[in-house]
Amino acid sequence: MSKENNYDIVKVDLSEGRDYPIYIGTGYDDDQAGKLLASHIDGRDALLITNDRISPMYLAKYESLLKLGGKQVHTLILPDGEEHKTMEILQRILDKALTEKLDRKCTFVALGGGVIGDMVGFAAAIYQRGVHFVQIPTTVMAMVDSSVGGKTGVNHPLGKNMIGAFHQPQCVFIDTDTLQTLPDRELASGISEIIKYGLIRDADLFHWLEDNMDQLLARDATAMRYAVKRSCENKAEVVKADEKEAGVRATLNLGHTFGHAIESGSGYGTWLHGEAVAIGTAMAATMSARMQWIENDLLQRTYRLLEKAKLPVELPLDSPMDQATFLKYMAADKKVANGQLRLILLKGPLGNCVFTGDFDQEAMVATIDDFVAECQGVKA
């Protein structure tokens, strides 16, 4: 970390002086790293929040880094898991901040994956009408997607991420070394979002993934750093263009409408977010091909790449998902406008997509039926 250029910086350009850096590097264990992190924390107090799985591995390290940077550090350990991404658990963050008498100059620091990042960000958005927060993502999912762009929130029993706010962090501090302890299934889950950038807007990244998936799965440091950086660049460009999702930002949700229905309909915690998104991406690509919006070759390459990443592309035989469950949860999607469902679908050559409500409903229902029939062991 102390060595010159031991990290890359991707800038998220926002209006009104809200720009922030994403640091992508390794190490971060000395005085200089502490000062760098602390330079994004205005006040004296930092509330460092993680979960009971990550805390034994990384809490002490980041607590000392913040102390090296001169901060007074308060810590909170939450239960691990998507099923704990709730208002009840969020309340514990607010309780802790109030009990410790943290004022509006404090900064919340999220150490963990997307669940911790989304919850801590939301708590920061509402604590005393908004305090600063910093993201220290420790999963691929969080490094390439959730820690960047300011979407924060919690789940509701009736739908995923239904309660939340846009609240941008002061910085994102990525140490790709933390991925060495990430389970294989979680690694693959995050890679689904990298594949997403390739499909919706970055054909070169898709080609690179086709050539380098084995290195990524082997957690090769150079490959991982490249994939994280390229993904952050894609995300930063989209967020700059459309911070509050009036249009193009919705394209980052390729596969998510089907995927959120699978997550909600199967029970939180059954599927990893990226796994549900991978099946959703297979469904979106299948539907796009059914409407002849993409060539069959692109459909096959999409399936091949998802499978190469060891991601699921169909529902398992014991899945509770049926057509009615899909349609119920999809109708509650945040992209529904005036009662009309809008989807992100692939259209044209690799790297192109559309966000539209103007699609063939029958193609959508037929696609759902095909995937449901497969999981019920019936060949469509």
Select the binding partner of residue 249 from ligand NAD, ligand GLY, none (C-beta < 5 to 8 A, by kind): ligand GLY
Residues of span 233-292 touching ligand GLY by CB under 6 A: 249, 252-253
Q: Which of 97, 145, 91, 94 is nearest to 117 (CA)?
A: 145
Stretch that binds ligand GLY, among 30-38, 75-83, 129-137, 145-153 (CB under 6 A): 145-153
Distance separating alpha carbons of residues 335 and 327, to the nearest angstrom: 14
Closest CB to ligand GLY among 187 and 252? 252
Nearer to ligand GLY, 34 or 121 (CB): 121
301 is catalytic: no
Burial class of residue 284, CB neighbours in 10 A (0-12, 13-18, 19+): buried
CA distance 123 to 167: 10
Alpha carbon distance 228, 222 (integer Å)? 10
| 112 touches ligand NAD by CB under 6 A | yes
274-293 binders of ligand NAD (CB under 6 A): 274
Position 77: which residue type? I
**Is 169 one of the binding residues for ligand NAD (CB under 6 A)?**
no
| Residue 23 amino acid letter | Y
Measured from the CB atom, is 51 or 234 closer to ligand GLY? 234
Are the beta carbons of 274 and 311 closer than 8 angstroms?
A: yes
Which one of ligand GLY, ligand NAD, none is in contact with 34 (Cβ closer than 5 to 8 A by kind)? none
Q: Does 257 bind ligand NAD (CB under 6 A)?
A: no
Q: List Cα–Cα distances, 294 to 101, 287, 297, 349, 352, in angstroms.
A: 56, 9, 8, 7, 10
Tokens of 316: 């398992």
Pick between residue 82 and residue 333 the one whose CB is nearest to ligand NAD. 82
DSSP 177: G
CA atoms of 62 and 73, how far apart (whole Å): 10
186 an active-site residue?
no
Tokens 């919706």 found at: 200
Q: Which of 45, 82, 145, 263 binds ligand GLY (CB under 6 A)?
A: 145
Q: Which is nearer to ligand NAD, 262 or 272 (CB)?
A: 272
Judged by the rule CB under 6 A, the positions of this chain that interact with ligand NAD are 51, 53-54, 80, 82, 85, 112-116, 118, 138-139, 141-142, 145-146, 149, 151, 161, 178, 181-182, 186, 189, 272-274
Judged by the rule CB under 6 A, the positions of this chain that interact with ligand GLY are 145, 149, 151, 249, 252-253
